[in-house]
Amino acid sequence: MLNKQQINNIALYMRLSKDDGDREESESITNQRKIIYDYIEENFSYKNCYEYVDDGFSGANFNRPSFKKMLMDIEDGKINLVITKNLARFRKKLYRCGRIYRKKFFR
């Protein structure tokens, strides 16, 4: 049995482009959620999980409501770990967002 890492507050960030369609919540968000929760359950003991979902928002910029809220919660010390399906959920062109990763996520 693996020892699970204890984390108090985990953020799940999920994003899907508006090109996916006009359903209330896309299947891809549902799939991202399942993948992330499966990973969390396998690897962590935790107190709280907070979901931040930007469904229908482009990854070409950071002008997304849930992403902004998540960054505020990180700054306020509410979040100890952020997990996403892959880094492309944060930003399409990853080379342009290195500064924000270093500033917000790697202190």
Kindly report the CATH number assigned to the domain that includes residue 83: 3.40.50.1390
Q: What is the pLDDT of residues 1-45, one digit of tens each?
A: 578 999 999 999 999 876 555 455 556 999 999 999 999 999 999
Residue that is written with structure tokens 């996520």 in the block: 105
Kindly list the strands in the beta sheet with 5-16, ordered across the sheet, starting from the edge strand earlier in the chain: 44-55, 5-16, 81-84
Is residue 95's pLDDT more than 50?
A: no
Q: Which helix (H) or strand (E) covers residue 33, if one does?
A: helix 27-43
Residue 75 vs residues 68, 70, 80: alpha-carbon distances, Å: 11, 9, 10
Q: Check: CB of residue 85 under 8 Å from CB of residue 14.
A: yes
Structural domains of the chain, count: 1
Q: Which domain holds residue 94?
A: 5-105
